A and B are shown apart, each in its own frame.
Chain A
Amino acid sequence: MGVGIVVEDLNAWYGSTHTLQDINLHIPANHATALIGPSGCGKSTFVRCLNRMHETNPIARATGVVRMGELDVYRDASPVEIRRRVGMVFQRPNPFPTMSIYDNVVSGLKLNGFRNRRILDETCERSLKQAALWDEVKDDLKKKSGASLSGGQQQRLCIARALAVDPEVLLMDEPASALDPVSTSKIEDLIFQLKSQYTIVIVTHNMQQAARVAENTGFFLSGKLVEFDSTHKIFTNPRDKRTEDYITGRFG
């Protein structure tokens, strides 16, 4: 089951660049939340702050409070523990090239020292079914490398891999931007099904996509959260002039 996320006064820097400024946001549990905005506005930095991937970059730094359910992400736990509870899907599919499909899916468990074969097998099947990839790959789970799949399949493999560690939150950073329309719609269907079980945060450049999959949408501009509301409200009657300019394509 997913947990809600509360963000208070989140600020982030890359070197001396102030990438995120005073973000306050409440992301509800078991819903999909879309983040839109022009390139470089801080959306990706924001999701990377949620699972503390931000700090893997040596020049990056973040302050503020992020709470997932009862857990204070920056004070109560190590980055490694947080990332086990928060799955992440990246913009470009990034399966482990030397691992089989099976090993890719269960890599989160195996690399953390989990060895029980029966549970690994079950997890692999469950996750691939959740990611709607099982029927396409079930015959060559251990025969083919993860990198031998098509781009759309690779991205679903990455989703299965994220789901296999049984996360509470799923962060997706433009998960469909490198994919063709058919694969994109498969990913969107998937988000639609998964959001009943997980809290999903999806960064997207595609506003139709935000409208299709997300209950709530946030609009970022130049490191600030300009507006956060129900997707319907954002796309039909935004409060802020800048949001309206962006979603109607008049953004200069």
Chain B
Amino acid sequence: MNTQSLNSQQGNFQPKPTRLNIARRTAANYFISGLSILATLVVLAPLAAVLFYLIYKGASSLNLAFFTQVPAPVGETGGGMANSIIGSGVILLVASLMGIPIGIAAGVYLAEYGRGTMLGNAVRFTADVLNGVPSIVMGIAVYSLVVVEQKHFSALAGGIALAIMMVPTVTRTTEEMLATVPHAVREAALGLGVPKWRTVLSVSLRTASPGIITGCMLAFARVAGETAPLLFTAFGNQFWSFRLNEPIAALPLQIYVYAISPYDEWHRLAWAGSLVLIILIMVSVTLVRIYANRGVLKGGS
């Protein structure tokens, strides 16, 4: 009786539910994996669609003149966007030179010195709010602060507007990446008698650098396509210009001007400009990544 009940219990209890469980778990595993793959495709689809549409619309208008000539006057065919490509490069260089160091420095303050302090919380809050400020507002702010003071539009003003837009992203990524550096690594340096500032620069920042570089590239890519902050600052122009204190052309501005024009020829150029802008962003981000990863040693945690 006793043995029997035990046997029947085992018969009921062990093999069947286990088999059921495994089948169900396998199914659930496939289901969730399938969902993640689907989500990935949904994310990639718009990117691929945009890229292919740009190639379809814009690639035919790309030629040597596009990369070597300034825009042709209305009514003439031909011309290119060479001055806009250079202008975008100048503005982005100015923006990166100002925005990235300030952003990283603020992030270092937040992560290494300002933990739990009033100023630290204030900086973090400001950065988050600044991140949400519409780009057109940034353009107007820089217009009244820089352009009105200088009494003319300039590449410098455009760079400042974009730099301010880069700062919050760079700051918050730097802070978050520094927070992932294990405390033990900092202690190792402090325990060797390395001063704190040196530990921050050579150990914490260096350990976190891949993530920080990603953050800088995100900020760069985001502002590279901004049009609104440049409308009242860099203003754009139709000629060659390398001066920081003069209005300068930029790809997004030129695309905007061409896209709202009534001429088919200019529409085609706008498509081509968009394609070039996207490709240039991808190329510069990739180049920075390759450069930053050089000499990185294999292995690790």
In angstroms, Cα B153 to Cα A162, docked, is 58
Q: Check: A186 CB closer than 8 A to any chain B CB.
A: no
Whether B207 and A165, one on each chain, are in contact in the complex, defined by CB atoms closer than 8 angstroms, is no
Binds A, one of B85-93, B166-174, B273-281, B293-301: B293-301
Query: Most A CB atoms within 10 A — which of B188, B195, B198, B299?
Result: B188
Q: Check: A225 CB closer than 8 A to any chain B CB.
A: no
Q: How far is the CB of B138 from chain A (nearest CB, A)?
A: 35
Q: Check: A92 CB closer than 8 A to any chain B CB.
A: yes
Q: Check: B184 CB closer than 8 A to any chain A CB.
A: yes
CB-CB contacts below 8 Å: B247-301 with A: 296-301
Q: Check: B203 CB closer than 8 A to any chain A CB.
A: yes
Contact of B207 (CB < 8 Å), options: A84, A97, A162: A97
Chain B residues contacting A85 (CB-CB under 8 Å) are: 193
Whether A145 and B182, one on each chain, are in contact in the complex, defined by CB atoms closer than 8 angstroms, is no
In angstroms, Cα B299 to Cα A147, docked, is 7
CB-CB contacts below 8 Å: B190-219 with A: 190-195, 198-199, 202-203, 206-207, 209
Chain A residues contacting B207 (CB-CB under 8 Å) are: 96-98
CB-CB contacts below 8 Å: B141-199 with A: 182, 184-185, 187-195, 198-199
Q: Check: A28 CB closer than 8 A to any chain B CB.
A: no
Whether B198 and A111, one on each chain, are in contact in the complex, defined by CB atoms closer than 8 angstroms, is yes
- 1/0 per position for A37-55, CB-CB distance to B under 8 A? 0000000000000010100
Chain A residues contacting B300 (CB-CB under 8 Å) are: 97, 145, 147-148
Chain B residues contacting A148 (CB-CB under 8 Å) are: 297-300
Whether A144 and B193, one on each chain, are in contact in the complex, defined by CB atoms closer than 8 angstroms, is no
Interface residues on chain A, number (Cβ under 8 Å): 32
Whether B188 and A94, one on each chain, are in contact in the complex, defined by CB atoms closer than 8 angstroms, is yes
Chain B residues contacting A92 (CB-CB under 8 Å) are: 184
Binds B, one of A61-69, A75-83, A215-223, A232-240: A75-83
A95 nearest in chain B by CB position = B188
Whether B188 and A90, one on each chain, are in contact in the complex, defined by CB atoms closer than 8 angstroms, is yes
Whether A56 and B192, one on each chain, are in contact in the complex, defined by CB atoms closer than 8 angstroms, is no
- Evaluate whether A161 and B298 lie within 8 angstroms (CB atoms) in the complex, with A94-B182, A98-B206, A98-B207 already known: no
Q: Check: A127 CB closer than 8 A to any chain B CB.
A: no
Residues of B bordering A, CB below 8 Å: 182, 184-185, 187-195, 198-199, 202-203, 206-207, 209, 296-301
Given contacts A92-B184, A96-B185, A112-B193, 17 further A-B contacts (CB under 8 A): A81-B193, A82-B193, A84-B193, A87-B192, A90-B187, A90-B191, A98-B207, A98-B209, A98-B296, A98-B297, A111-B199, A112-B192, A145-B300, A147-B299, A148-B300, A158-B188, A161-B188
